[in-house]
Amino acid sequence: MKALVLQEKNVWPALQEVPVPTPSEGEALVRISAAALNHRDIWIVKGMYPGIRYPVILGSDGAGYWEGREVIINPGMNWGDDPRVQSKAFSILGLPANGTLAEYVLVPQQQVYDKPPHLNMQEAAALPLAGLTAYRVLFTRCGLQPGEKVLISGVGGGVALLACQMAIAAGAEVYVTSGSDEKIQRAIALGARAGANYRKADWPARLKEEAGGFDVIIDSAGGPGFPELLKLCRPAARIGVYGGTRGAIPELSPQLLFWKQISILGSTMGSDEDFRQMLHFVNTHRLRPIVDKVFPLEEGPRAFERLDEGRQFGKVIVSVKPHPHKRF
């Protein structure tokens, strides 16, 4: 089969012929129609991730065919029995196990779910990791309620965009930040009320003027701007943190936390139950993940470059030619 194989640090995965994996009892050999990239894939290529091995097929997100069904894959492996936190055996598809940037991927059968029927294969491939992460941080961790004001940072990436779409569908009043005015306007076109460009010094003041304060803040950046988020919190606000792309938080005032009764809640990926609930939410509200650009498998390095540039709005997709007349 054809696959994008990572062979060494700082070199984009290249197309190679590798053996088709053989399923054992309880495993599913899924024929991939489309896969989606995540920033995790970029970090692995750059050596910024634990447990890297070579060679490896990256890719956590995929949609395709198994036993005549159109399916998607839950990329969170071995969450465990405690819904509050992942087990020590938890891993994400695409390292250490080979992932979805190939014509076939081998996964445990319990990771395979029916594709939402209103989504095409490319949209479905964009959903699993980002949708699971967004759903858990919004609803399982932060308990978002209809009518609440929510701020979502870094809109344009896959998780932030799906969080924006989900929060709007849930009846929340949504505001966004981005380093791109264009991305803010595109989020507003999706239903966000307003936004602020975090590259401009007055971004906290602009949000304060627009919204007054927030019940829920969803953040993936951390870094020096995080203390400003505390100042934008309403009393009893919840801040859901699912990433740290801007690094450590330099100063955090405990007075702001305890006096306003603010909760800071960490979140990553999600449990199997979170995944099922996410799919139900997506099907109920007929949400469609935003696809940025689609590249054929043969042009995989260009897909990695697109994501690495940071100009995307939505998910970068790698398309694999399907075999519609064969059953898997």
Q: What is the pLDDT of residues 227-237, one digit of tens each?
A: 999 999 999 99
pLDDT on residue 322: 54
Give the residue-averaged pLDDT of 234-251.
Answer: 91
**Domain coordinates in residue numbering, the chain:** 2-127+290-319, 132-266
The CATH architecture one would assign to domain 132-266 is: 3-Layer(aba) Sandwich (3.40)
Q: Which amino acid is at 153?
A: S
CA–CA dist 156, 190 (Å, integer): 12
Range 2-127+290-319 classified under CATH 3.90.180.10: yes
pLDDT on residue 328: 41
CA–CA dist 212, 235 (Å, integer): 12
Question: Is 2-127+290-319's fold the same as 132-266's?
Answer: no
pLDDT on residue 327: 42
CA–CA dist 228, 213 (Å, integer): 12
Q: What is the pLDDT of residues 272-290, one digit of tens each?
A: 999 999 999 999 999 999 9
Q: What is the pLDDT of residues 92-133, one digit of tens each?
A: 999 999 999 999 999 999 999 999 999 999 999 999 999 999
Structural tokens at position 110? 């319990």
Residues whose CB is less than 8 angstroms from the CB of residue 257 and which lie 6 or more positions away in sequence, other chains included: 230, 264
* pTM for the whole structure: 0.94
pLDDT on residue 251: 84
CA–CA dist 228, 226 (Å, integer): 5
CA–CA dist 186, 192 (Å, integer): 9
Give the residue-averaged pLDDT of 53-78.
Answer: 97
